[in-house]
């Protein structure tokens, strides 16, 4: 097989030589270099190292050092366990927070969608929407539980919203969030 490869290379380079009239010695050097790539270099591989037997040294540390190492090891293990417990607790709190946010958003999603459709046609509805939409967003994100507003704005909000055909549960919840100031 090597001989066939050599012949193929030789004929190929001979063809190039005749066609391009390149220096023959350069081509021969190239053929020799390429042939060296196919030479099996198994003779140059070194044998594996012999296995070594190792023996552990005796523990020459003092009793105090041994106790310190044991205490540090136990302390690190206890820290890792506590860290794992804290991580699980944080994940539970975050998941609960996200769950509550999603539930609150679901309560107001249809209501805000209905109001958003109407703000294109009613100027008063647009003003009311601009007032209550940030309040509802803050409530959904659990930043606030209630918002205190003046009597005139409160009456105006619920007078305008009262005429809208939408989810009445969302309006009742909004009444609990918005509180008249006294």
Mean of the per-residue pLDDT values of the chain: 79
pTM for the whole structure? 0.55
Q: Do the Cβ atoms of 180 and 151 come closer than 8 Å?
A: yes
Q: Do the Cβ atoms of 15 and 4 come closer than 8 Å?
A: no
In this predicted structure, the answer to whether residue 92 has a pLDDT above a threshold of 90 is yes
More confident residue, 45 or 33: 45
H-run or E-run covering 20:
helix 2-20
Span 47-85, pLDDT tens digits:
778 877 776 677 788 889 889 999 999 999 999 999 999
User: How many Å apart are CA 69 and CA 64, to the nearest integer?
Assistant: 9
Which of 134, 130, 131 has the alpha carbon at shortest distance from 150? Answer: 131
């Amino acid at each position: 097989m090597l001989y066939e490869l050599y012949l193929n290379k030789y004929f190929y380079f001979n063809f190039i030589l005749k066609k391009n009239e390149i220096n023959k010695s350069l081509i021969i050097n190239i053929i020799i270099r390429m042939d060296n790539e196919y030479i099996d270099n198994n003779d140059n591989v070194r044998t594996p190292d012999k296995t070594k037997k190792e023996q552990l040294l005796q523990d020459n540390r003092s009793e105090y050092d041994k106790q310190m190492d044991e205490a540090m090891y136990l302390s690190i293990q206890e820290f890792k366990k506590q860290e794992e417990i804290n991580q699980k607790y944080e994940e539970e709190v975050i998941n609960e927070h996200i769950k509550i946010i999603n539930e609150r958003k679901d309560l107001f999603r249809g209501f805000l969608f209905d109001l958003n459709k109407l703000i294109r046609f009613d100027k008063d509805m647009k003003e009311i929407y601009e007032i209550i939409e940030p309040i509802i967003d803050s409530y959904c994100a659990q930043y606030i539980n209630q918002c205190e507003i003046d009597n005139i704005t409160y009456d105006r909000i619920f007078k305008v919203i009262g005429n809208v055909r939408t989810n009445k549960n969302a309006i009742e919840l909004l009444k609990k969030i918005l509180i008249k100031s006294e």
